Chains A and B, each alone.
Chain A
Amino acid sequence: MESEQCHSRFGRPLVTFAGEDLGHGRDRQGRLDSVVLPGLTLTLQVGERVALLGQSGSGKSTLLVELRARLGRQAAWCPQHHGLVPTLAVYHNIFMGRLPEHSTLAGLWNLIRPLARPWREVGELCALLGLEGLERRPVGQLSGGQRQRVAIGRALYQGRDLFLGDEPVASVDPHQALRLLALIDERHTTSVVALHQRELALTHFDRVWGLRDGRLVINATASELTLADLDALYPDAEAPVSSLGEEALPAMPGPEALPCARGRP
């Protein structure tokens, strides 16, 4: 796929972790309050598109937040659970991607009456994301999938080379996920995207980082890996899962496991 064209641009490291501890909160001496990823060794290269896999709680978000902190203004950021403002319109939420580029006065005026150029740009972006006609609708009135696309729209509007996304395609259907990932690829040279869809990780990314219990257990190019390798990241999955649809469905609990014991002896 497109990944072949990018190989020529690989090589320059953007961020390097050499046996570093990552976690939350720091005390006065700069020590971490809780270490989530101990002794992480990792390099992010320019032009690489990385899928970040791992169970919930394995440290994906911690790694992404640290990457964001180190890359600063180079990276566009699409956070987990979107971080949108439900009472503001779609337009304003996407506009926020470039808030620092406007003066305070322009920013205030824009809340009352949209500025002409951003309104046009955001309109074009909305059309690409399938949100046309919803620019004035408050985000709180949108469906989960639409909100997801607004959050991606805000990250795209930042217009950076790098994209960092924490499960940006978690709540859209598989076809839309493909379209959105293609859109992200088109507009960024480098990306790190946390995912749950393992097939997408193998087909749409150059490299896979796999986290398990705070350790980087997979760091390989996608072409070297198989789905079975990725299964090792999910110790809870007892039966090997073969198709995309099956994984997306949560296992149905048996009647014995249900809290209400009606009909049981």
Chain B
Amino acid sequence: MSSAHSSHQGHGRHWWQGCTPGLRLARHTLALAALAVVLAPFADIAIHTRDPWAELGRMAMGMAWPAWGSLESPLTAIGLTVAVAIWGTLAGVVLGFPLALLFAHSRLVRAGCAFVRAIHELFWALLFLQVFGLSALTALAALAIPYAGIFAKVYAEILEQTPRAPRDALPPGTGRLMRFVYAELPLVWAQLLAYTRYRFECALRASVLLGFVGLPTLGFHLETAFREGRYHEAGALMWLFYLLIASLPWWSHRRLIPVLLIGGVWLLGPWPSVDGALVWRFVSEDIWPAALLAGDWAGLVEWLARIPDLGPAIGNTLMLGLLGSVGALLVAMVLWPLACRHFGNRGTRLAGHSLLIFLRSTPELMLAFLFLLLLGPSLLPAWLALALHNGALIAFLVARHADALTPGMPGLSASGRLAYELLPRLYPGMLALLYYRAEVILRETAILGMLGVATLGFYIEEGFDYLMFDVAFFLLLITALLNIAVDALSRRLRPREGAVMDDPCVR
């Protein structure tokens, strides 16, 4: 991979020995890939459908000839999708910003944020669905709560990197608030805004996904159309979704945001009447095992033993996370040169860019859903979806960084440019991005369970479906802990040297 670093000592018999950064990264990558290859046979990655190509053909026909006329109230669905995303993001900012200021000082805040972050938006939606029903409140809370944790962490990291010089230059006696608004906030304002914008894009995708649990956003119509095999209608909805994402820079203009916010309130209603007693019963009784509340320890052990296939579910989740990460790395390696100004011509670059935008704006769950219809229920569709979506996201960021580089040696061939000029500079950052992304990949691994892949998410949804809230909640806790552990591990393994590409927009 990074043999360019090490070519000068590649004459010995043991070329892999040595401690140059390039060799270390190459060993690191090969070890990761080897682990994936060794474990892959244990994963269930078979193709179960008899004739995937016919199904794919029908889907392609649907995309090619979308049935615009058969859509019922598409504008309401789009409006609701945007309204949920924008209000969810705003609520996340309002909750997250004060937490970001406390983040560095309070271990409790850090732990709390790690916990709410570790549970995917869709699981929060499933949880709130039980108390607020199919309402806007469920949708908003499902976005706002995990986003508050994410905003708190990323804002805190951005604020931490504020240059200190302007602060030190202030005359003595300047108040804390004044110091913040004059000499700290303006320095990081652009970064905070860029991240918030990125998070809004994520919220838009998540808002579509909320349709999969029954909230009437774009995803609801999409899922119904796909499940019932009405591919022409599904094609029209997919095109609507891509148009929505592609036109984002125009309709999310600064001056339009107040209009969107006010229009959103009107679309979000009617608000449900919340029954306080019901909420309290849910929080204090329903989600806890009865044996625990009664203090019956033997009963608790028995309850634990009755939880189905906990071990294999955790194994599948972790396996899919690992395979997804390695797959994303491979996809990113292949795709980034396509969208980068150093290679190809205008046509190939346009095609590469379009492919990356298509892959990274399609939510994983939707990709997985498509592959599932094609390939049948196994880990394979989930793996492909995770690798393609996350690989495209990493490739996009890598290509953007590559565009900013100027090769020192003009006139090299394309392969020389790739191997000697660009890859040695980009690869450390790329690997670091992958490790940042690993946490997100694992979080999404769990929700792919909702499509029938036997990860933790599958059993969580089953728990909610059969009203076994105690089991579902217990599995949610396990998922969160698993996420926190993997996040800590990936932070440990992440290569630090030369990783200049630290972009908060992967977290």
Contact = CB atoms under 8 A, between A and B. Distances in A.
Our verdict on whether A and B bind, yes or no, reads yes
A87 B189 CA distance: 9
Contacts of A151: 169
Nearest to A154: B169
B168 interface: yes
Given A88-B182, A96-B183, A83 B165 contact: yes
B454 to A, nearest CB: 51
B187 A79 contact: no
Interface string A97-112: 1111010100110010
A179 interface: no
B174 A100 contact: yes
Nearest to B176: A104
Given A96-B182, A107-B182, A84 B172 contact: no
Contact of B175 (A85, A104, A158): A104
B186 A79 contact: no
A111 B187 CA distance: 14
B187 A86 contact: yes
Contact of A99 (B165, B170, B186): B170
Contact of B172 (A73, A102, A108, A111): A73
Nearest to A89: B186
A73 B167 CA distance: 16
A24 interface: no
Interface string A215-227: 0000000000000
Contacts of A120: none
Nearest to B179: A99
Interface residues on B, range: 20 to 34
A88 B186 contact: yes
A102 B170 CA distance: 13
B347 interface: no
A89 B177 CA distance: 19
B410 to A, nearest CB: 13
A87 B181 CA distance: 12
A7 interface: no
B256 interface: no
B168 A99 contact: no
B182 A98 contact: no
B171 A108 contact: no
Interface residues on A, range: 20 to 34
A100 B173 contact: yes
Contacts, number: 65
A85 B187 contact: yes
A92 interface: yes
Nearest to B165: A83
A79 B170 contact: no
A104 B177 contact: yes
A98 B171 contact: yes
B19 interface: no
B178 interface: yes
Nearest to A81: B165
Contacts of B173: 73, 100
A85 B183 contact: yes
Contacts of A92: 182
Nearest to B175: A104
A79 B183 CA distance: 14
B312 interface: no
Contacts of B98: none
Contacts of A86: 187
Specify which of B166, B170, B187 lies most central, judged by the most chain A CB atoms within 10 Å of its CB.
B166
A143 B455 CA distance: 58
B171 A79 contact: no
Contacts of B166: 83-85
A111 B183 contact: no
B379 to A, nearest CB: 48
A87 B186 CA distance: 6
Nearest to B167: A83
A72 interface: yes
Nearest to A73: B172
A209 interface: no
B172 A83 contact: no
Contacts of A100: 171-175, 178
B182 A85 contact: yes
Contacts of B181: 107-108, 111
Contacts of A158: 171
Contacts of A96: 169-171, 182-183
Interface of B: 165-175, 177-178, 181-183, 186-187, 189-190
20 contacts: A72-B172, A73-B173, A76-B171, A79-B168, A84-B166, A85-B182, A85-B183, A85-B187, A86-B187, A87-B190, A92-B182, A96-B171, A99-B174, A99-B178, A99-B182, A100-B171, A100-B178, A107-B181, A108-B181, A158-B171
Given A87-B187, A99-B178, A107-B182, 14 more contacts: A72-B172, A76-B171, A77-B169, A79-B169, A87-B189, A96-B170, A97-B171, A98-B171, A99-B170, A99-B174, A100-B172, A100-B173, A100-B174, A107-B181
Q: Closest 3 interchain pairs by CB?
A: A83-B169, A83-B165, A100-B173
